[in-house]
Structures are given as C-alpha cells and as structure tokens.
C-alpha cells in the first residue's frame, strides 16, 4: 500500500468532522513529487501514481474537519471547504495527516467551489519547501497534481490538488469550535490532542496549564523564526494557527525585501492587521482567544482562570527573550548582552529601508553587494560597533539565509508555467532553495531584491 493509515481523528466526536469523497478527475497529472519527503515518510514512489495522489483510489474514507476562527478579528464557524484528510499515515512511530487541498466541495464549502488553481498550489509547494529548508517548522508538500478542469479566480487556470503533510491540522480554531460543544467534549478533545502532540505532559501535575504553555512556546518559536527570515504569513487568523507550532496555509504570504515593519502584500489585509511588524501582537491576540476557548476546562479540572492569565502575562517577556536571542545570532553576537546595540541596528534598518536578507550578508563580508545604502558612513560606523562585540561568521551563517523566495522570481516561475507549460525556472528555484544557507553564486539573480517599484505594487491573493 502507498500509505499506512491509522486515522485516530475519527475517534473524536462525529460533530467535529464530516466523511467526504474527493471529486472525480478523469486525467490527473503529477506535476511535482517531493522525493525527499517520500523518503522521510517511508513511501514507495512507484506506488504514488496520479490516481492515488488525487484521491481517486482510496484506502479509507476521507474526512473534512470542522473548526471555527477569528478571521481578521471576526468570529466565524468554518471547516475544510476545499480540503480533505485522506488519513493519518504512520511511519517509524510518527503520525502525519495526508491532506488533499483543492479536492472538491465539502459540507463546509459554503459558496466556494472546492477547487484550487495550479499556480496557488505550485506556490504553496515552493513556499513550504523553502520554509522547511530554512529550518522553520512547517507543513510540507508531497505533490502537486494537475486536474482536467478550468478554475476561475483572477484569471482562468488549470485546476490542481496539493497533497499536504502535517503532524496534524488541529488549530486554535478547532478548540474554539469544540468549546461550543460543551465542557465534557472539550475535555475529551483536549486529552486527545495532548496524547497526540504533547504526551509528556500527562506526567505533569498541571496538564492543561502546561498544555497551554507548550502551545504558546511553540507558537512563539514559530513566529520568531518568521521574523528571522522576513516572512509575512499574511493571514494569521486563529484557524490558521497550529497547536503544534507548524506554519501552514501559504495563501497571501510573501517574504519582505526592503525592511519596513508595515509591509503587507495581501490583497485582503487592507488595514495592515497582519503586517510584518504586527505578527508578534497578533500572536498574542490569538493566544488570548485560544485561552478563552480553554476556559470551560476550569469547571472540569484544577485549571483556573488566574493560571491561564498568568501564562498570558508572561508572553511579552518570553517573546522578547526569544526575539533578541535570535537577533543576536543574526548579528553574530555570542552573548546575552548588547540589547541596546541590537535596538540601534533595528532603528538603522527602519530608517535605511535596506534589503533585509542582504544586509546581514553584507555585514559578514563587506563589498558583496553594490547597494549605496551599504556605502554610507552610518552603516560603516554601525558595522564597526558590531564587529567589536559580534559578527562571528559561524554564528551568523546558521541564522542568515543566502537565499529566500524573492517575490518577483516566484511570479516569473509561475507565469512561465501558465504561459508555456514550462517548469524549468520553478525547478531551478526549488534547487536554489534546497540549501538556502549555502552560497552558490554570490550576487546572483537569486540574491537580488526586486525593483522598489515592483515591491510597492506587489500583491498576493488567497485564491479560495
């Protein structure tokens, strides 16, 4: 069998999911298959044909999950409107959701058609590939399968299905949905999630409190990693926040080029709620909503409201510690001091609007980039101050990627496939992002930021 399924989610209350069937596809075609992920999952690539990957040959009945979420601050009852979990694959004692995205309508589709465009699924494949290799906890893409239908979004494109792999798709919004089912069901579901993701907590005296603490810590680590590489998620709704600290749902996401904490690339984030510099604040807000969802447990266990609030009160300090530790590594400072110097450097970034990724490479080795901002007296003075206490190359190299998915290169690769059916540029970008911390050709096109005019007008879309 191509997968070894043991789907425990079907043991939770039946109101939390629906049994579904993927749409029928006459001629599915595998565009991309992630051989490395196949190996990690113990899968035989010879068995992963298009019909298996598109959900045409089923090993068991798929499910779509119900959940809720605050979308741009407004609470909504939701669910997998164009996604289905084929099953939970078990390999070497680890469990993974195998999910199809773009596989047709479900009971939660509302007005959606359940489809996905090929460009949006290729885009998610590339971004999850990049994030994995940037050492950021993330969903992973097993395959992109093109379908035989036309899907209309901003333009008409071929349809596609993404085969997505995660430790699970349980999110803050799942708990918000379950909380509405009553305290008994919330306790049963929380116990299931702890057993699945944090079994070590069953040995503690304060299991539910430690569960909230563990989710908060994994989320802080995730968002600090986003800030490390300049990633903007673009849609940090509570239904897109994993309780396991996995980055997922690569819709209107992008990487920041020129440093600006107000950077937004999403077409629907018109007020900058999820801007680069707001991601810490939004994480805190989301965790508050998660804590509210857990509050009915206070009636069922020794957990108290004051304990949850006490954990939330730790957030700002814990985030700051994690953030400054990360920034010291980016600046090659091998100590716990120099916070004021880090702040001075951040203020220079705000004023200079320099390319975020290349700035750290220029600090490592002056003269790499022909950019006037790096030739200023202020930058040279700042570099000298940093050199006196940091700029240790080995420390910096592990924190600073040489390559990120430059937005204009991503769009170029996608356009070439849509216009000419040519994946060669896309595959070249995948190859570069396979080892983003290893320099291939310093100063190459893959390290060049776009024209500022491009970035100012660049927009990403949800494509649902």
Active site residues: 239
Spatial CA neighbour of 87 closest among 174, 188, 165, 200: 165
Per the CB < 8 A criterion, the answer to whether 25 and 56 are in contact is: yes
CA distances from 304 to 174, 297, 315, 318 (A): 21, 8, 18, 21
Torsion of CA 254, 101, 193, 174, to 10 degrees: 80
Torsion of CA 212, 218, 223, 228, to 10 degrees: 150
Per the CB < 8 A criterion, the answer to whether 69 and 172 are in contact is: yes
Both tokens assigned to 302: 């020794």
Q: DSSP 3-state assignment of 5?
A: strand
Nearest-angstrom CA–CA distance, 204 and 305: 19
Nearest-angstrom CA–CA distance, 327 and 331: 6
The alpha helices in 258-368, defined as continuous H runs, are 279-294, 305-313, 315-330, 339-352, 356-364
What does residue 368 show for φ and ψ, rounded to 5 degrees?
-70, -35
Q: How many CA atoms lie within 13 A of 86 on its CB side?
A: 30
Can you give 9-46 as a three-state secondary structure string? HHHCCHHHEEECCCCCCCCCEEEEECHHHHHHCCCCHH
Q: Are strands 29-33 and 140-152 parallel, antiparallel or unpaired?
A: antiparallel
Both tokens assigned to 219: 């989320």
Spatial CA neighbour of 111 closest among 138, 85, 81, 140: 81
Nearest-angstrom CA–CA distance, 357 and 120: 25
- Contacts (Cβ under 8 Å, ≥6 apart) of 46: none
């Amino acid at each position: 069998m191509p997968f070894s399924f043991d789907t425990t989610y079907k043991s939770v209350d039946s109101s939390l999911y629906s049994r579904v069937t993927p749409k029928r596809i006459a001629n599915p075609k595998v565009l991309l298959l992630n051989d490395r992920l196949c190996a990690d999952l113990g899968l035989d690539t010879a068995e992963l044909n298009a019909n298996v990957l598109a959900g045409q040959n089923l090993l068991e009945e798929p499910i779509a999950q119900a959940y809720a979420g605050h979308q741009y601050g407004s609470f909504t009852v939701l669910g997998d409107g164009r996604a289905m979990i084929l099953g939970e694959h078990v390999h070497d004692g680890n469990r993974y959701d195998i999910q199809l995205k773009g596989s047709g309508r479900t009971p939660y589709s509302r007005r959606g058609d359940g489809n996905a465009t090929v460009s949006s699924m290729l885009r998610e494949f590339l971004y999850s590939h990049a994030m994995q290799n940037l050492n950021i906890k993330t969903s992973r893409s097993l395959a992109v399968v093109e379908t035989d239908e036309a899907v209309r979004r901003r333009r008409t494109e071929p349809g596609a299905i993404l085969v997505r792999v995660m430790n699970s798709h349980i999110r803050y919004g799942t708990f918000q949905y379950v909380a509405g089912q009553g305290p008994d069901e919330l306790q049963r579901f929380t116990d299931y999630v702890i057993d699945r993701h944090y079994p070590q907590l069953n040995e503690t005296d304060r299991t539910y409190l430690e569960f909230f603490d563990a989710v908060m810590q994994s989320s802080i680590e995730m968002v600090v990693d986003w800030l490390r590489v300049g990633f903007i998620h673009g849609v940090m709704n509570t239904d897109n926040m994993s309780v396991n600290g996995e980055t997922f749902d690569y819709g209107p996401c992008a990487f920041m080029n020129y440093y600006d904490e107000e950077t937004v690339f999403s077409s629907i984030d018109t007020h900058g709620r999820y801007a680069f510099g707001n991601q810490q604040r939004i994480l805190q807000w989301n965790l508050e909503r998660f804590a509210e969802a857990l509050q009915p447990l206070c009636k069922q266990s020794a957990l108290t409201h004051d304990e949850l609030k006490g954990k939330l009160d730790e957030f700002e300090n814990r985030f700051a510690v994690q953030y400054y530790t990360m920034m010291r590594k980016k600046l090659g400072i091998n100590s716990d001091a120099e916070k004021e110097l880090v702040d001075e450097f951040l203020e220079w970034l705000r004023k200079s609007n320099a390319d975020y990724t290349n700035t750290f490479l220029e600090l490592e080795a002056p003269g790499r980039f022909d950019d006037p901002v790096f030739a200023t007296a202020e930058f040279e003075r700042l570099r000298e101050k940093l050199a006196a206490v940091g700029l240790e190359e080995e420390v910096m190299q592990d924190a600073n990627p040489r390559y990120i998915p430059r937005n204009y290169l991503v769009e170029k690769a996608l356009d070439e496939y849509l216009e000419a059916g040519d994946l060669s540029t896309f595959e070249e970008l995948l190859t570069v992002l396979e080892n983003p911390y290893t320099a291939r050709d310093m100063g190459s096109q893959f390290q060049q930021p776009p024209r500022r005019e491009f970035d100012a007008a660049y927009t990403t879309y949800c494509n649902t």
